[in-house]
Amino acid sequence: MRSPGNRAVALRLLMIAAVVGSCASGSTSVRSLPPGARVAAGSEKPIPLILAADEGERRLRRTPGGARLLVKVDPQTAQSPEFVMTMETIPPGEGIPAHEHPSADEIIFVHRGTGAAQLGRRSATVSEGATLYIPRSTRVAIRNTGSQPLVILAIFSQTGFENYLRETSVPVGQPVVPLTATELNAIRAHHEHDIVFEKP
């Protein structure tokens, strides 16, 4: 007998197959989302999207390094009920500190650049084409160790983390005012159900 977790994974795979099949047959309308655009509130079901590399909701992080962030798929951009996908450009010498996601699995795909990743008790060098599968509540950290930007794609199995990302960033074009330690700690405390950072 399948466990509830296995049934949920199987259901998600069937949903993805159905969307891919309907897109291939032409029965589902697929639209491209211009940079910075959002789906209108009140849409009843997810909207299939085709996004170019630079398309999505463009934002700049207010945390050290000021990484560029694209929110590609989430409830606001595509009315996604479960999945979240982001693309982040991490400057040389910067990184994402050690943390874990209590309520979502994550997959990171290294699109470009070189970095050092820590996953659980393991450390490894990662470069273009590398994939990290991060089960929920697993410690992860990643740092750009190269001389060029490190570009990563992240896919989350549940929504929620995108709210933390928006609170710690601003849309491109707005002033980027770095968060104070007090502000950042308050935001992190508010989102502990989605992300928990390791204490220094």
**Could you write out the three-class secondary structure of the chain?**
CCCHHHHHHHHHHHHHHHHHHHHHHCCCCCECCCCCCCCCCCCCCCCCECCCCCCCEEEEECCCCCCEEEEEECHHHHCCCCCEEEEEEECCCCEEEEEECCCCCEEEEEEECEEEEEECCEEEEEECCCEEEECCCCCEEEEECCCCCEEEEEEECCCCHHHHHHHCEEECCCCCCCCCHHHHHHHHHHCCCCCEECCC
Tokens of 2: 């399948």
User: For residue 42, what pLDDT is reported?
Assistant: 55
Write out residues in the chain with pLDDT < 50, as ranges: 1-2, 7, 9-32
**31-40+47-197: CATH number:** 2.60.120.10
Tokens of 118: 């820590």
CA distances, 26 to each of 21, 43, 119, 147 (Å): 9, 21, 40, 44
CA dihedral sign of residues 153, 161, 187, 45: positive
User: For residue 199, what pLDDT is reported?
Assistant: 83
Instruction: Sketch the domain layout of the chain as residue ranges.
Output: 31-40+47-197
Q: What is the pTM of this model?
A: 0.78
- In this structure, how many other beta carbons lie within 10 angstroms of the beta carbon of residue 32? 10
User: For residue 165, what pLDDT is reported?
Assistant: 97
